[in-house]
Amino acid sequence: MGEIGPEDALLSLAAQEGTGIAHDEIQIKPAVSHPGIPSLEQVLAAEIKPLVQIQPLEPLQAGYPADAVSGKIPLRPKATFHFPADFKWGVATAAHQVEGNNINNDWWAWEQQEGHIKEGHKSGLACNWWKETETDFVPAAAMGINALRLSVEWSRIEPVPGEFDDSALERYSQMLQSLRARNIEPMITLHHFTNPQWLAERGGWENPETIQHFARFARRVVERLGQHCDLWCTINEPNVYGYLGYLEGTFPPGQTDLKAAMYVIRNLLAGHAAAYREIHAVQPNARVGLAHNMRILDPANPKSLLDRRVAQMTDRTYNQAIITALTRGRWMWPLGFGLAWKLRHTLDWIGLNYYTRDLVAFDRAQRQTLFSRRLHADDAELLDGGYGEFYPQGIFRCIKRLARLNLPIYVTENGIPDVDGDQRPRYLLTHLHQMWHAIQLCYPVMGYYHWTLTDNFEWADGWTLRFGLLALDPETQIRTPRPSASLYTDIIQANSITPQIIDTYAPELRAELLPG
């Protein structure tokens, strides 16, 4: 935050109290003099007056509107929210959502079945990355992005059990080299929701054999691509995968079984630990972590004991149980009971995927979800497609919670579905401001990966949710930058949030972010 000097203090006093004091009009009241001792008038005239006899500041350089400098409107403090010099400004993607024609995984098969995807949408070409990534890498570099999170598609690399496709690995190598040539550091995710069809037919993550299949896959990928990458994310959102695929039934395989969901999450965490060890065996200096989706889960009625208890239970199940297993080596109900020693010390960093908040109410009819029902306040600002509540304070609350782990934190996903682009500038600025606040408190946030660069296939929501800084027409593959692309560019190039950026993209936030 910028400092306010003596001239600013005088200007502020003049503007707020209407004194009309000018820089060169300091009236000093005479004082009684004593022989040999300088009078107060002389001291003030000699020491103080020169400090305030300065030329008026240029309005833009001072960070004030011209009317504020003239005293016509109240002054607001100059404030620039600086980020660390080595901060990672990135975007996040996933293979199935951007590559196109991933025909050998379980999601492709899922899409072909009627009723699974909104409006019958299919991934199709997606963003056509498998054929041409430059259409997105070039604008990413132009924006100043210095980090990009992408995933590798297991079904391309291992199309049949135990047989690896060198041409697919070579294509990923080309992508990574293209990023490096543009000074963009890759983060590779090894599992982002999709499985090879052959693995799904064997039971997927309900089958404990999948743990070793995944470890073998991870080792092969690192052996081939490790020369271009040392930052690895093993599993993306094990809680989301378990909940949506096995509890809510909106992801493949479409089950609605709480016990199965918890068992699958346990196996995913075991897969993470096995992959962690394989990666470090191949690449000892690797930085290996996991992307954890966290939601703020507050009681719908804080005065209700039942609402408070189910909110705590939901939070423990969704947010805390995974963290406890990976850091303390023990299971929390309903994931299980007892020790999980093999999971301890398998995080070099922790990833946070944060989007929104839910209010949680007790509902005796919702046995499958531990008697909880999620809702939003009547006056909450909601995101497109019912995606959730606009709640920027949540990212700070999650970072504060993760900081207790004493691990580097990457915000591996954060974004908003906003086809019109009217909410995203406010969402981006308010969430980054909350993240900046966390950094000022010495919480170890190393980087931010916005979800996402270009509109992509959003799983069960198809193409109905548009998260991109660049709008995409999937039929023509034409990209059109949204205003938020310019906003993110300006933030990256300044490595800060400035008053000018706020005034340009979201002037309605000035009173909130620059109070005074």
| pLDDT tens-digit map of 31-57 | 344 444 444 344 334 433 333 333 333
20: left (phi over 0), alpha (psi -120 to 50) or beta: left
Same-domain check for residues 52 and 103: no
Instruction: Answer yes or no: is 395 within a domain.
Output: yes
77: pLDDT confidence band, cut at 50, 70 and 90? low
Instruction: Answer yes or no: is 71 within a domain.
Output: no
Phi, psi of 475 (to 5 degrees): -75, -45
Same-domain check for residues 30 and 116: no
What average pLDDT does range 423-428 have in this prediction? 98
The pair of structure tokens assigned to 247 is: 């509890």
**CATH code: domain of residue 313:** 3.20.20.80
Instruction: Answer yes or no: is 113 within a domain.
Output: yes
Instruction: Answer yes or no: is 65 within a domain.
Output: no
Same-domain check for residues 113 and 48: no
Q: Are 275 and 267 in contact (CB under 8 A)?
A: no
Same-domain check for residues 51 and 118: no
Same-domain check for residues 41 and 163: no
Same-domain check for residues 380 and 466: yes
The C-alpha atoms of residue 196 and residue 212 are separated, in whole angstroms, by 14
Last residue of a domain, one of 15, 39, 57: 57
pLDDT of residue 79: 86
Taking residue 493's Cβ as centre, other Cβ atoms within 10 Å add up to 11
What average pLDDT does range 73-90 have in this prediction? 81
What average pLDDT does range 295-309 have in this prediction? 98
Radius of gyration, alpha carbons of the chain: 27
What predicted TM-score, i.e. pTM, was given to this entire model?
A: 0.86
Q: Are 438 and 400 in contact (CB under 8 A)?
A: yes
386: pLDDT confidence band, cut at 50, 70 and 90? confident
Pairing of strands 478-481, 409-413: unpaired
pLDDT of residue 480: 98
CA nearest to 458, candidates 128, 122, 172, 167: 122
Q: Are 334 and 320 in contact (CB under 8 A)?
A: no
- ∠ CA 495-496-501, nearest 5°, is 120
The count of structural domains within the chain is 2
| pLDDT tens-digit map of 390-412 | 999 999 999 999 999 999 999 99
Give the SS3 label for residue 94. coil
Same-domain check for residues 164 and 266: yes
State the chain's mean pLDDT as an integer.
Answer: 88
pLDDT of residue 516: 67
Same-domain check for residues 389 and 498: yes
Same-domain check for residues 354 and 392: yes
pLDDT of residue 63: 36
Instruction: Answer yes or no: is 67 within a domain.
Output: no
Same-domain check for residues 205 and 136: yes
Instruction: Answer yes or no: is 76 within a domain.
Output: no
CA nearest to 516, candidates 77, 2, 80: 77
Phi, psi of 326 (to 5 degrees): -80, -25
Instruction: Answer yes or no: is 72 within a domain.
Output: no
Instruction: Answer yes or no: is 254 within a domain.
Output: yes
Same-domain check for residues 53 and 89: no
Taking residue 433's Cβ as centre, other Cβ atoms within 10 Å add up to 18
Q: What b/e sequence results for 117-129 when a residue is b if at least 16 CB atoms lie within 10 Å of its CB, and e otherwise?
A: beeebebebbbbb
Report how far apart the first and last C-alpha atoms of the chain are (Å, whole number): 13
Task: Give the CA-trace dihedral at 387, 391, 395, 398, to 10 degrees.
Answer: -90
| pLDDT tens-digit map of 426-485 | 999 999 999 999 999 999 999 999 999 999 999 999 999 999 999 999 999 999 999 999
Range of the domain at 173: 84-513
CA-to-CA separations, 31 to 24, 40, 49, 303, 378, in angstroms, rounded: 21, 6, 16, 64, 65
Same-domain check for residues 46 and 94: no
Give the SS3 label for residue 212. helix
